[in-house]
Amino acid sequence: MNKILKEHFENMFSSNRVGHSFLLCNTNYDNLKEDLEEILSDYFFHEKIDIDNNPDIYILKPENGSIKKEAILELQSEFKYMSQIHDNRIYIIDHAELMNDYASNSLLKYIEEPEKNIYAFLITSNVNKILPTIKSRCQVLFISNGSDLELSKIDSEIIDKVVSFVMNYEKIGIDIIADEFNYLDKKVDKETLKTFIRLMKYFYRDILNYKIYEICKDFMAYESKIKEISEKNEEKSIINKLIVLNKYENMLEYNLNINLFLDNLIIEMEEHNE
């Protein structure tokens, strides 16, 4: 099972912080199917279930490259009545980023006032295309692309620079732009920048984990710093920063002006800071 997914739901249930809507990012239903089936079996149905053949699980996928309002309304109609089999009912929306505006607004109204024992799993490969008001009402979880972070295989110098950069950014905000080349060479190559942004993302993920569960998963050696930042940030603010970092990590796959990249990243993080 995906380690991130398993640990998230273990911590969530043990700390009694179970929400009604979950946004699973950087993935799709096919990649998560087996893991979701295990999560639903263990935590929501308390018995082994077949995710594709269960009357209390509704799976919505795009048709012709989009998800329209009518599909969301049909989903809602399926949940008008209580289940006669299980206590909980689940709906899963695959490629949620393909909802059009009408569909997104219909779903927003539905999740704003969640009904008892109905849980939503929204799965997206592009969290930046999800309506911000929907994101704000979900527990957001970033699924790792590829293997988990292995700090032991990364140069300790760049790890220290990332931590120092984040600590300083949290103190002085956008003013760090004038100081950024103390952390990266002016002629930084794309691979080094990828590593830097990826480490930032994982560092903020640990900050979020500490904010919610008081645990660190990757940067245990920096727990005191993580605690300090988590105490100064609201949960929503940390999630917003993670969303921006995720966006910029994906942008590095394309040709861009590397010299302006970090400036734009910092500016957008500040714009989403709350």
Residue 44 has pLDDT above 80, yes or no: yes
What pTM was computed for the model?
A: 0.76
Lookup: tokens for 65: 């490259």
CATH number at residue 58: 3.40.50.300
DSSP 8-state class, residue 203: H
Mean per-residue pLDDT for 107-126?
93
Could you tell me how many helices (H) and strands (E) the chain has, helices first?
A: 10, 5
pLDDT at 145: 52
pLDDT at 222: 95
Q: Do 247 and 130 have their domain in common? A: no
Per residue in 77-101, pLDDT tens? Answer: 999 888 878 899 999 999 999 999 9
Contact 67, 93 (CB under 8 A): yes
Q: Do 105 and 178 have their domain in common? A: no
Phi, psi of 196 (to 5 degrees): -60, -50
CA distance 13 to 27: 23
Q: Do 104 and 221 have their domain in common? A: no
CA distance 179 to 169: 10
Residue 69 has pLDDT above 60, yes or no: yes
CA distance 243 to 75: 27
Contact 130, 122 (CB under 8 A): yes
Residue 251 has pLDDT above 60, yes or no: yes
Residue where a domain stops, chosen among 142, 159, 194: 142
Residue where a domain stops, chosen among 123, 142, 161: 142
Per residue in 103-112, pLDDT tens? Answer: 999 999 999 9
Residue 261 has pLDDT above 80, yes or no: yes
pLDDT at 186: 78
CATH number at residue 204: 1.20.272
pLDDT at 274: 59
Residue where a domain stops, chosen among 110, 142, 174: 142
Task: Identify the band that residue 71 occupies on the pLDDT scale cut at 50, 70 and 90.
Answer: very high
How many domains does one find in the chain? 2
Q: Express as a percent the part of the chain with pLDDT over 70.
A: 97
What is the domain extent for residue 32? 3-142
Beta strand 89-93 with 118-124: parallel, antiparallel or unpaired? parallel
Q: Do 155 and 117 have their domain in common? A: no
HSE of 131, CA atoms in CB hemisphere, 13 A: 18
Task: Identify the band that residue 147 occupies on the pLDDT scale cut at 50, 70 and 90.
Answer: very low
Residue 214 has pLDDT above 60, yes or no: yes
Q: Do 237 and 161 have their domain in common? A: yes
Q: Do 164 and 137 have their domain in common? A: no
Helix, strand, coil shares, percent, the chain, to 5: 60, 10, 30
CA distance 82 to 91: 14
